[in-house]
Amino acid sequence: MITSERRDASTARVPTVEQGQAIIVTRYEEEKAVIVNPVDFHRLEALDTALEQLALGDRPEMSELALKAHRLEDDPGEPIEDPEAIKALLSA
Amino acid sequence: MAGSVRWAVVPYAPSPPFRLYAGPDHAPIVVNDVDSFIAAVRKQGGDAEHTYLVSGKARPVLVLNEPPSSYHQEVTALRLLRLSRLTSTEQAHVRRQADELLFYLPPDRFDLPEENAAIVSALVRVHIGSIESRPALGRLNENEMRVLGERIIRFYQFDTRLLVEKRIKELAAREPR
Q: Is A54 on the interface with B (CB under 8 A)?
A: yes
pLDDT in tens, B75-113: 999 999 999 999 999 999 999 999 999 999 999 999 999
Higher pLDDT, B170 or B32: B32
pLDDT in tens, B132-165: 999 999 999 999 999 999 899 989 988 888 888 8
Domain containing residue A34: 10-75
Domain containing residue B140: 4-13+58-173
CATH of the domain at B140: 2.30.30.110
> Chain A neighbours among B 51-80 (CB < 8 Å)?
55, 57, 79-80
Whether A62 maps to a domain, the answer reads yes
Whether B20 maps to a domain, the answer reads no
Instruction: Determine the residue among A73, A75, A81, A90 to mutate to test chain B binding: the one whose Cβ has the most chain B Cβ atoms within 10 Å.
Output: A73
Whether B47 maps to a domain, the answer reads no
Whether A83 maps to a domain, the answer reads no
Whether A3 maps to a domain, the answer reads no
In A, which residues are within 8 Å of B168 by CB distance?
A: 51
Question: Total structural domains in chain A?
Answer: 1
A62 contacts B121? CB cut-off 8 A: yes
B151 contacts A60? CB cut-off 8 A: yes
Distance CA B68, CA B17 (A): 33
Whether A91 maps to a domain, the answer reads no
In A, which residues are within 8 Å of B161 by CB distance?
A: 51-52, 55-56
Whether B24 maps to a domain, the answer reads no
Whether A90 maps to a domain, the answer reads no
pTM metric for this prediction: 0.78
Whether A4 maps to a domain, the answer reads no
Helix (H) or strand (E) holding B123: strand B116-127
Alpha-carbon separation of residue A16 from A4, A30, A32, A43, A46 (angstroms): 18, 22, 18, 18, 22
Local confidence band at A59 (pLDDT 50, 70, 90 cut-offs): confident
Residue A15: cis peptide before it, omega within 30 degrees of 0: no
Question: Total structural domains in chain B?
Answer: 1
The sign of the CA dihedral B155, B112, A68, B131 is negative
Whether B46 maps to a domain, the answer reads no
ipTM: 0.82
Which distant-in-sequence residues (6+ apart) come within 8 Å of B153 by Cβ?
A57, B160
Contact B71, B128 (CB under 8 A): no
Q: Nearest-CA distance from B88 to chain A in Å?
A: 12
Burial of B105 (0-12, 13-18, 19+ CB in 10 A): buried
